[in-house]
Amino acid sequence: MSVKIALAGNPNSGKTTLFNALTGSNQFVGNWPGVTVEKKEGKLKGHKEVVITDLPGIYSLSPYTLEEVVARNYLIQERPDAILNIVDGTNLERNLYLTTQLLELGIPMVIAVNMMDVVNKNGDSIQIKQLAEKLGCPILEISALKATGIKEAAQAALQAATQVSACKVHNFSTQVEEALSAITNRLPQEINENQKRFYAIKLFERDEKILQGNMSAAAFEDIIAKVEKELDDDSESIITNERYIYIGEMIKGCYKKHSKGNLSTSDRIDRIVTNRWLALPIFALVMFLVYYVSVTTIGSYATEWANEGVFGEGWELFGATIPGIPVVVGDFLASINCADWLQGLILDGIIGGVGAVLGFVPQMLVLFIFLAFLEACGYMARVAFIMDRIFRRFGLSGKSFIPMLIGSGCSVPGIMASRTIESDRDRKMTIITTSFIPCGAKLPVIALIAGALFGGASWVAPSAYFLGIIAVIISGIILKKTKMFVGDAVPFVMELPAYHMPTVSNVLRSMWERGWSFIKKAGTIILLSAIFIWFTSNFGFVDGSFGMVEDLSDGFLATIGNAVAWIFAPLGWGNWKTAVATIMGLVAKENVVNTFGVLFGFAEVAEDGSEIWDTLAASFTQVSAYSFLVFNLLCAPCFAAIGAIKREMNNTKWTWFAIGYQTIFAYAVSFCVYQIGAVITGELVFGIGTVIAILVVIGFLFLLLRSNTKAPNSKVSVSIPG
């Protein structure tokens, strides 16, 4: 028989750290509320029959955002055998607010007070024994980070799971208790005896979301209204206030705080990074550095070595020349008299294509280290706060920025992170715009264009990032002015975690996991794509007979590419190779590089390092290359991200709207970039294209500047509670 133990607690209280320690999994631990948006299961180390569930963090059992709904539904509907409630010891009072509610669920519970090391360091003290007596529930001290006390906590939870809930539940004031028992008496029979109190309290609070079947708060209106009149407050506030009063009294004797008034280190850092003048420049500098360092400096040395050494001619190690993979494999294949076509497939197709992608892994790893550090130190939440002021003007809340920052690693978790956004409208808009921010897989595309066409100019990579942000902002304004999205963004309220130095292992683990998933992708999807591209480009009908073609432009792929290339001609890159690369990019964005690798024969021309990219460069100008980059960054994301959009939208129509909007937007922007840019550089003369581009720009300006559509019910609620 399996035992289910759920980890529940406030956001950022250390649930995932504990989950990793208990189950030996490798979930990433970030430092902002809402890292975990989906529940995760794992088996307790050494106990195969025990399933531990890591729930998204919640502040109360009245969910405010989507991921909180996930947690509440699990606790109420699937009823774990025991709850291990993680309480952040540095924030005892607020955390106990949830604890009192969890106790009402009637599920056996054990409390683990986390971050006791920090509590002790601050000179504060918590009398665990006394607190446990008052709460009537076993309490243990743990430090999830240092893995102390966690075995005991798991053991206690296991023991609790075998018992019927023994935790006592605190009492509200007499009037409220009378009302609650009156409601309990009228509850339908089918409700479990243990859960009756929970439902009674929720009904008393008029919680609309809890109501199932024929239960409705309206049926109890007489009871509720009577108490509200007696206590001169609304039922919800009565419960909330009584809870806090109860907690306040409970911790009076068992919690001592040492220092007061002194600014903590986090407060001091916040004074600087959220300063009204410095906040934005600091953020811009941070992002510039991240992209500059990972694409242009450290990352580029490593990538050069990988591209020109490992996947090229060879490299020098302590004076000895180590031949590159293509050379070794080529020699080997020649020595065994391998068939020409197979040599071509392996060298030009597989090594040329997959190698071109793998060559960028070092750059990605550097980027991932930076992102993991930013996520784990606590700066992310501040960026949301800083960006709120700007995003609000464009109809988005600062919360939309977190999915975008995560999206700079990979759009899929980025799109999933949109669940922390309360308003459905804001969430949809965030889902549509998140993939504008270049993800890790787009990095090779950026690096390739920056290296091959712009001589590694330092502005290209950061410009791609800022282009993404501008695309988000412009889309925000345009979409907000349509009927679908009109209305003010929901006020921004978000807990800011304390800053802390991320552990090296957490950062490296995150880097490795993301990096490894790219390497795995290169070995599967990218490999298959490379084989597909090689075959379809090398075979075709010549003079009416099927066979291998001398010139790639006679192959199947060229025929297909040529059939669609006209679509991209107005963007400045209407040849079949670039068209095919863009389409293959839908499978995975690295495929753009992969396709170029196969079609331009990177493996073959790798005689001299600088020549590798020359053939590619010859088919572009700087303006058309930038237009190509813009289109590939902004257009519909890869299939995996489209899948994530579909899941989060949960609606086919919205999914198509998102993809359609992204692609049309990308086309319009690249069109303007090329048509206007090329006239400026003298590549094109002023003509019909320029006129259309100017009209498109005017169209954009119209969409941006037109007055707001009036919402049918755009009243600002300033209701005053009774």
Stretch that binds other proteins, among 381-389, 511-519, 619-627, 635-643 (CB under 8 A): 381-389
The answer to whether 455 is annotated as binding is no
Binding residues for other proteins restricted to 128-167, rule: CB under 8 A: none
Neighbours of 710 (CB within 10 A): 9
The residue among 92, 64, 711, 709 whose CA lies nearest residue 399 is 64
Give the shortest CB-82-to-other proteins separation in angstroms: 23
Neighbours of 11 (CB within 10 A): 23
Neighbours of 233 (CB within 10 A): 16
The answer to whether 214 is annotated as binding is no
The answer to whether 114 is annotated as binding is yes
The answer to whether 587 is annotated as binding is no
Query: Which residue in the set 222, 267, 611, 614 belongs to the binding site for other proteins (CB under 8 A)?
Result: 267
Enter the DSSP assignment of 221.
H
Query: Which residue in the set 25, 62, 195, 553 belongs to the binding site for other proteins (CB under 8 A)?
Result: 62
Give the shortest CB-382-to-other proteins separation in angstroms: 8
Stretch that binds other proteins, among 37-45, 182-190, 392-400, 600-608 (CB under 8 A): 392-400
Q: Helix/strand/coil (H, E, C) string of 405-426?
A: HHHCCCHHHHHHHHHHCCCHHH
| 720 binds other proteins per the rule CB under 8 A | yes
Query: Which residue in the set 132, 169, 187, 490 belongs to the binding site for other proteins (CB under 8 A)?
Result: 490
Pairing of strands 139-141, 109-114: parallel
Phi, psi of 528 (to 5 degrees): -60, -40
- The site map against other proteins for 220-239 (x = CB under 8 A) is ----------------xx--
The answer to whether 440 is annotated as binding is no
Query: Which residue in the set 14, 344, 355, 398 belongs to the binding site for other proteins (CB under 8 A)?
Result: 398
Closest to other proteins by CB, 320 vs 718, is 718
Query: Which residue in the set 91, 120, 458, 663 belongs to the binding site for other proteins (CB under 8 A)?
Result: 91
Query: Which residue in the set 19, 28, 59, 198 belongs to the binding site for other proteins (CB under 8 A)?
Result: 59
The answer to whether 353 is annotated as binding is no
| 262 binds other proteins per the rule CB under 8 A | no
The answer to whether 34 is annotated as binding is yes
Three-state DSSP at 386 gives: helix
Q: At what angle do helices 279-291 and 361-377 cross, to 10 degrees?
A: 150
The answer to whether 21 is annotated as binding is yes
The answer to whether 558 is annotated as binding is no
Give the shortest CB-93-to-other proteins separation in angstroms: 5
The dihedral built from the CA positions of residue 18, 19, 22 and 28, taken in this order, carries a sign that is negative
Q: At what angle do helices 221-231 and 196-204 cross, to 10 degrees?
A: 60
Rounded distance between C-alpha atoms, residue 234 and residue 229, angstroms: 8
Query: Which residue in the set 168, 229, 271, 520 belongs to the binding site for other proteins (CB under 8 A)?
Result: 271
| 477 binds other proteins per the rule CB under 8 A | no
The answer to whether 35 is annotated as binding is yes
Give the shortest CB-103-to-other proteins separation in angstroms: 16
The answer to whether 37 is annotated as binding is yes
Query: Which residue in the set 371, 384, 640, 645 belongs to the binding site for other proteins (CB under 8 A)?
Result: 384
Neighbours of 646 (CB within 10 A): 18
Neighbours of 210 (CB within 10 A): 19
The residue among 15, 54, 37, 39 whose CA lies nearest residue 644 is 37
Rounded distance between C-alpha atoms, residue 626 and residue 36, angstroms: 37
| 125 binds other proteins per the rule CB under 8 A | no
Question: In Å, how far from its chain's centre is CA 232?
Answer: 44
Pairing of strands 320-323, 314-317: antiparallel
The helix (run of H) or strand (run of E) holding residue 54 is strand 50-54
| 422 binds other proteins per the rule CB under 8 A | yes
Rounded distance between C-alpha atoms, residue 90 and residue 70, angstroms: 26
Length of the chain: 722
Query: Which residue in the set 392, 481, 500, 509 belongs to the binding site for other proteins (CB under 8 A)?
Result: 392
The residue among 151, 133, 155, 132 whose CA lies nearest residue 142 is 151
The answer to whether 227 is annotated as binding is no
The answer to whether 54 is annotated as binding is yes
| 242 binds other proteins per the rule CB under 8 A | no
| 259 binds other proteins per the rule CB under 8 A | no
Closest to other proteins by CB, 429 vs 565, is 429
| 495 binds other proteins per the rule CB under 8 A | yes
Rounded distance between C-alpha atoms, residue 604 and residue 598, angstroms: 10
Q: Helix/strand/coil (H, E, C) string of 172-220?
A: CCHHHHHHHHHHHHHCCCCCCHHHHHHHHHHHHCCCHHHCCCCCCHHHH
The residue among 520, 509, 639, 624 whose CA lies nearest residue 572 is 624
| 97 binds other proteins per the rule CB under 8 A | yes
- The site map against other proteins for 558-577 (x = CB under 8 A) is --------------------
The answer to whether 12 is annotated as binding is yes
Give the shortest CB-1-to-other proteins separation in angstroms: 35
| 275 binds other proteins per the rule CB under 8 A | yes
| 357 binds other proteins per the rule CB under 8 A | no
Give the shortest CB-184-to-other proteins separation in angstroms: 23
The helix (run of H) or strand (run of E) holding residue 272 is helix 265-273
| 93 binds other proteins per the rule CB under 8 A | yes
Rounded distance between C-alpha atoms, residue 212 and residue 575, angstroms: 59
Count interface residues toward other proteins (CB under 8 A). Answer: 50
Three-state DSSP at 456 gives: coil
Stretch that binds other proteins, among 169-177, 383-391, 515-523, 688-696 (CB under 8 A): 383-391
Closest to other proteins by CB, 396 vs 636, is 396
Closest to other proteins by CB, 115 vs 437, is 115
The helix (run of H) or strand (run of E) holding residue 323 is strand 320-323
| 424 binds other proteins per the rule CB under 8 A | no
Three-state DSSP at 720 gives: coil
Question: Is 404 in contact with 434 (CB distance < 8 Å)?
Answer: yes
| 283 binds other proteins per the rule CB under 8 A | no
Query: Which residue in the set 26, 163, 171, 241 belongs to the binding site for other proteins (CB under 8 A)?
Result: 241
The helix (run of H) or strand (run of E) holding residue 537 is helix 527-538
Q: Helix/strand/coil (H, E, C) string of 6-46?
A: EEEECCCCCHHHHHHHHHCCCCCCCCCCCCCCCCEEEECCC
Closest to other proteins by CB, 430 vs 463, is 430
| 381 binds other proteins per the rule CB under 8 A | yes
The answer to whether 650 is annotated as binding is no
The answer to whether 503 is annotated as binding is no
Stretch that binds other proteins, among 401-409, 487-495, 597-605, 660-668 (CB under 8 A): 487-495
Stretch that binds other proteins, among 158-166, 388-396, 477-485, 599-607 (CB under 8 A): 388-396
The helix (run of H) or strand (run of E) holding residue 71 is helix 66-73
Phi, psi of 639 (to 5 degrees): -60, -40
Stretch that binds other proteins, among 275-283, 350-358, 540-548, 663-671 (CB under 8 A): 275-283
Largest CA distance in the chain: 96
Stretch that binds other proteins, among 19-27, 302-310, 378-386, 612-620 (CB under 8 A): 378-386
Residues 6+ apart with CB under 8 A from 489: 391, 392, 395, 396, 397, 423, 426
Q: Which residues are annotated as a binding site for Mg(2+)?
A: 20-21, 23-24
Q: Which residues are annotated as a binding site?
A: 9-16, 20-21, 23-24, 34-38, 54-57, 114-117
Q: Which residues are annotated as a binding site for GTP?
A: 9-16, 34-38, 54-57, 114-117
Which residues are near other proteins by CB under 8 A? 59-60, 62, 64, 90-94, 97-98, 236-237, 240-241, 244, 266-267, 270-271, 274-276, 279, 381-382, 384-386, 388-389, 392, 397-398, 422, 488, 490-498, 717-721
